[in-house]
């Protein structure tokens, strides 16, 4: 963990930018394929925008829920109804490299919320689903209070999403 903090800021920023794009792409994929994600998003208002980023001027991404699906809008905060910000790049790295769960980052005051707290909690629950599908199972222990159990159907959805992820990263890198 200490070695991560020794990296140059530009390298840290690149790692976080790639991770944020991966989260955005995976949100898109899972909103179409995962029953758990569909159930979590069912109560969301159509057109809701949410963002995830790093303070003070770090990378960020915006997503929008519309028509029963999440769409990755691209880099930057774009008129978001709610945004969750990591307070610095090192805190974001801990979460995006699987060394710390998002709930632990929140408890340790490594994040800040801008917008409706109810929306933020719904966003966190949806992000937990994304993380469960994005990270390998052996990393789930430190990332979740209770590691999710995935059946055969969820494993197939995960495999399909992971196969498509590199293409999604390439196509969405310029957004």
Q: What would the pLDDT profile of 1-43 be if each residue is shown by its tens digit? A: 556 667 788 889 999 999 999 999 999 999 999 999 999 999 9
Query: Can you give the pLDDT at residue 65?
Result: 97
Q: Which residues contact 115 (CB under 8 A, 6 or more apart)?
A: 80, 81, 82, 83
Give the C-alpha distances (Å, rounded to integers) separating 156 from 50, 57, 92, 151, 152.
Answer: 27, 38, 29, 9, 6
The burial class, CB within 10 Å (0-12 / 13-18 / 19+), for 157 is buried
- C-alpha 25/C-alpha 38 separation (Å) is 16
* Per-residue pLDDT reduced to its tens digit, 61-117: 999 999 999 999 999 999 999 999 999 999 999 888 888 888 788 889 999 999 999
Q: What is the pTM of this model?
A: 0.86
Rounded to whole angstroms, how far apart are CA atoms 136 and 111?
Answer: 24
pLDDT tens for each residue of 113-148: 999 999 999 998 898 888 888 877 666 566 666 667
């Amino acid at each position: 963990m200490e070695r991560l903090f020794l990296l140059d800021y530009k390298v840290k920023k690149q790692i976080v930018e790639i991770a944020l794009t991966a989260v955005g792409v995976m949100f898109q994929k899972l909103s179409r394929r995962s029953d758990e994600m569909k159930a979590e998003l069912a109560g969301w208002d159509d057109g809701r925008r949410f963002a995830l980023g790093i303070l003070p001027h770090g990378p960020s991404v915006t997503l929008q829920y519309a028509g029963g699906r999440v769409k990755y809008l691209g880099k930057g905060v774009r008129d978001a109804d709610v945004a969750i910000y990591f307070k610095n790049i090192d805190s974001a790295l801990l979460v995006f490299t699987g060394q710390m769960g998002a709930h632990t980052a929140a408890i340790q005051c490594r994040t800040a919320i801008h917008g409706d707290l109810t929306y933020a909690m719904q966003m966190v629950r949806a992000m937990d689903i994304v993380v469960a599908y994005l990270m390998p199972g052996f990393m789930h222990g430190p990332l979740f209070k209770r590691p999710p159990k995935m059946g055969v159907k969820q494993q197939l959805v995960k495999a399909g999403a992971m196969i498509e992820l590199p293409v999604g990263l390439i196509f969405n890198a310029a957004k």
